[in-house]
Structure 1
Amino acid sequence: MNEGSPLDIVLRRGRIHGSDHQRPMDIGIRADRIVEVAPSISADAREIDLGGRLVCAGFIETHIHLDKACILGRCGHSESLAHAIAKVSALKRDFTQDDVYARGRRVLEKALIQGTTRMRTHVEVDPRVGLRAFDAISRLRKDYAWAIDLEICVFPQEGLLNDPGTDDLLVEALEGGADVIGGCPYTDTDPNGQIARIFELAERYDVDIDFHLDFDLDPSSMDLYEVCRQTEKHRRGGRVAIGHVSKLSAAPPPVLQQATEMLRSCGVAVTVLPATDLFLMGHGKTHSVPRGVAPAHRLLQQGVTCSISTNNVMNPFTPFGDCSLLRMANLYANIQQVGQEKEMALCFEMVTSQSARLMNLKDYGIRVGAAADLVVLDAETPEAAVAELAQPLLGLKAGRETFKRPPPIVLHPVSGERTVIRDGQDFPAHRQDDRSVKDQISLV
């Protein structure tokens, strides 16, 4: 029993992601922290019975674009990466703070009910949009702090050294509270020059770096090598991430192995964006269309920090999206033909613990002292959650409930029986009491 001040909530009978315990455990929460994890917690506190379901620390979105989400109706689909960039470039001149805020809020709430509790969003900064998008997302960060920890990564989508005025705006954003600086070398006339400048700014403002990198299918030359070189030069291992890297999907085994070893030794993390990478790579091909998604699970198996993320939602880069990171993990598993349980579990790690490592989060996980940022899934194991696209049923941020979704019930017309389906098995659906002495809420 916890000997401190009274607990606020006890989560009963949860299968804890990352735990060595095979049987369900209880989790005691006080204020915004986990204060006890035990087989049985005795406490006069509100109880939520998880019924043996999987509970994990909240999902982490490491790479998304809130500022240009939900604009598909304004500009339509695209046929290439360059076409998508051009379409958004024309539109963002007319972006207002309120417009960016409203669209970002829509996506943020989608992510919230899918179990995301932490997020890194990339925000474009250049003379066309100025700091309007950055200011809007900064407002959103403050207004939704109760539900999601939001990191802002400012970056130059259309080039830096070849786009006068962009450097000054990046500096202004960093001085105005941006958390991370990003880059997009493949849109610059001097890719190596842009990479060097991004490292200079990161060092000056002591922020992490997150590049869009190597977004095509020609592995004969890769900016990845220069990023690794600069990471070593500036001793920033563990503070640099690269997103997309679709060139690795087309790299022959010796090239892939060389890149993997460099990434591991330099401490550069990799994020794959399955929906966007799959959608944009190979446009124009009439047959044998490439998938274009880097084999992150293979990199992870060799010690590279890797994450799976959403990237774009309802825009020319990706004309769909519900902000479900489990869906992204499942899509990745399909693309990479991942079927073994151990590899499926790695896909789950790449939207949870690996993502936390990429973002250098120190209070993540289910352990005493960690933040009470938790999600309950309608599954018993991480592998099943990925394979079956398990629904998030309950979310907590800093110990406070942020959403609730009742498990679906099958209504049998003849017998009147009511059952809940989970992991291929039928469970009787118990009646949920609205009130009790301990204000019990059951997800059984």
Structure 2
Amino acid sequence: MSVKSAFDLVFRNAVTRASPAAVDIGIADGRIAAIAPRLACEAVEIELGGRLALSGFVDTHIHLDKACLLGRCGHDNVSLTEAIRAVAVMKRDFTVDDVYARGAMVIERAIVSGTTRMRTHVEIDPRIGLRGFEAVKALKRDYAWALDLSLCVFPQEGLTNDPGADELLVAALHDGAEAIGGCPYVDTDPNAHITRIFDLAQTFDIDVDLHLDFDLDPSWRHMDEVCRQTEQRNYHGRVTIGHATKLSALPPDRLKAATARLAKAGVSVTVLPATDLYLMGRDATHNAPRGLTPAHRLVADGVLCSVATNNVQNPFTPFGDASLLRMANLYANAAHAGIGDFDTCLDLVTDLPARLMNLKDYGIAVGNPADIIVLDTDSGTNAIAELPDVLMGFKHGRKTFERRRPTLFRPGTRPSPSP
């Protein structure tokens, strides 16, 4: 097939998840204008040689404001409560410039790892005030050339029990926050906490994204109240619960019932493998539980799910590089995903989180923004299995980064001098 048109850029011989046979992708005015074999044009060409092109990874849950704190505390915190306490002490001294600098380091790592869309959760309370929010707003503006950043504000240390937090949340919502979250498990009145978050979400017509049920005790949970509120307020498709580690502790029959409840209410689940694996089950002396909710199995039963980064190098997770491909691979390992599940594991960091964030213009399709990354592999299954390099990325058709493929110097060859 030959399609002749005016393009600014053409990717030659790309493999997409919709088309395993190589196609060309034509870009015009920052958008995908055509997808077909052998496009006829005189545009700039990039030969992909059968490599996989994606619309970029989508990170639905990351904390830019409290990232990269390794040098500020001993990181001997062995529980969620201790991690919250450690950051609560530190964030009193956070400045706008400090949060910006640390957040920028993570964003730049995410960009070169292929992330093109991101929702960051920003702590709002009397200790940090709006300083973190101001910093992340600036990051959103300054990195728009490579990444779409959405701000979800939330009270990490409670709401009904933390005077002043509510007023600060409202101020941030008036100032452009695009979603609201909460942590009912740290509040003295969890149901009132949930109700207030939903009230604010409805008032400002924004989505809800909660940190929820972050332990392994299945005898109680807040999930049912979230589902009830979602249905009562007709918020189907606009509510997400993060962590939800209690689901990992349920026997099959109870997990099946909980999954059906989530699917019926239209509540999504974000699994955060690095933090969940690091913090859950730490009190076990042996045979430690993983604490990882089986997102790919929930997806098969009708629940919209994502896998995301959460924390990077802080007391909650003292490692990380903001690579969602690495996170999907970690998830696949820890969740005992079979080879037949690998494509779903890639979905968990691409198409499914895009749906979770209600992004209407995501994907390699004609008319969508030319947000494209190229992986050094030829299929979605191999992307999870091989952990290939992300070779290059584009935002609205403009190249944002490039990584050279490694070169082997066999005996008898002479390496070129390093630049």
Tell me which interval the TM-score lies in, with the shorter structure as reference length.
over 0.9
Contact 2:160 2:193 in 1 (8 A): yes
Matches within 5 A, 1:108-123: 108-123=107-122
Matches within 5 A, 1:95-174: 95-174=94-173
Q: Which runs of 5+ in 2 are unaligned?
A: none
Matches within 5 A, 1:248-397: 248-340=247-339, 342-397=340-395
Matches within 5 A, 1:38-57: 38-57=36-55
Residue identity (%): 58
Which residue of 1 is the match for residue 241 of structure 2?
Answer: 242
Separation in 2, partners of 1:13, 1:406:
19
Q: CA deviation at 1:410?
A: 1.8
Q: CA deviation at 1:376?
A: 0.3
User: C-alpha offsets along residues 3-50 of structure 1, whole Å, 9 cap, x if unaligned?
Assistant: 65x211100001012x1x331110000122100000111111000000
User: C-alpha offsets along residues 336-382 of structure 1, whole Å, 9 cap, x if unaligned?
Assistant: 11122x20110000000001000000011111001111110011111
Separation in 1, partners of 2:202, 2:414:
63
Which residue of 1 is the match for residue 191 of structure 2?
Answer: 192
Q: CA deviation at 1:76?
A: 2.3
Contact 2:13 2:48 in 1 (8 A): yes
1:386 aligns to what SS in structure 2? helix
1:163 aligns to what SS in structure 2? coil
Separation in 2, partners of 1:374, 1:271:
24
User: C-alpha offsets along residues 136-168 of structure 1, whole Å, 9 cap, x if unaligned?
Assistant: 000110011111000000000000000010000
Separation in 2, partners of 1:83, 1:72:
15
Matches within 5 A, 1:400-439: 400-414=398-412, 416=413
2:15 aligns to what SS in structure 1? strand
Which residue of 1 is the match for residue 7 of structure 2?
Answer: 7
Which residue of 2 is the match for residue 84 of structure 1?
Answer: 83
Contact 2:312 2:322 in 1 (8 A): yes
Contact 2:14 2:24 in 1 (8 A): yes
User: C-alpha offsets along residues 104-155 of structure 1, whole Å, 9 cap, x if unaligned?
Assistant: 0000000000000000000000000000000000011001111100000000
2:181 aligns to what SS in structure 1? strand
Which residue of 1 is the match for residue 222 of structure 2?
Answer: 223
Q: CA deviation at 1:302?
A: 0.8
Q: CA deviation at 1:219?
A: 1.1
Amino acid in the other structure paired with 2:7:
L
Which residue of 2 is the match for residue 435 of structure 1?
Answer: none
Q: CA deviation at 1:2?
A: 5.3
Separation in 2, partners of 1:84, 1:398:
39
Amino acid in the other structure paired with 2:389:
Q
Contact 2:3 2:36 in 1 (8 A): no
User: C-alpha offsets along residues 253-304 of structure 1, whole Å, 9 cap, x if unaligned?
Assistant: 1111111001111111110000000000011221011110101010000111
CA-based RMSD: 1.2
Separation in 1, partners of 2:343, 2:110:
21
2:100 aligns to what SS in structure 1? helix
Q: CA deviation at 1:413?
A: 1.1
Question: Structure 1 stretches (4+) deviating beyond 2 angstroms?
Answer: 1-4
1:410 aligns to what SS in structure 2? coil
Contact 2:23 2:38 in 1 (8 A): yes
Equivalent residue pairs, number:
413
Contact 1:76 1:315 in 2 (8 A): no
Amino acid in the other structure paired with 1:16:
T
Separation in 1, partners of 2:379, 2:30:
25
Separation in 1, partners of 2:147, 2:401:
12
Amino acid in the other structure paired with 1:395:
G
Matches within 5 A, 1:28-43: 28-43=26-41
Q: CA deviation at 1:220?
A: 1.4
Which residue of 2 is the match for residue 73 of structure 1?
Answer: 71
2:333 aligns to what SS in structure 1? helix
Contact 2:4 2:39 in 1 (8 A): no
Contact 2:99 2:136 in 1 (8 A): yes
1:321 aligns to what SS in structure 2? coil
Contact 2:4 2:41 in 1 (8 A): no
Which residue of 2 is the match for residue 436 of structure 1?
Answer: none
Separation in 1, partners of 2:29, 2:404:
24
Separation in 2, partners of 1:195, 1:167:
13
Contact 1:84 1:317 in 2 (8 A): yes
Shift in CA distance, 417/381, structure 1 to aligned 2, threshold 3 Å? farther
Separation in 2, partners of 1:204, 1:74:
38
Q: Which runs of 5+ in 1 are unaligned?
A: 419-444
Contact 2:3 2:38 in 1 (8 A): no
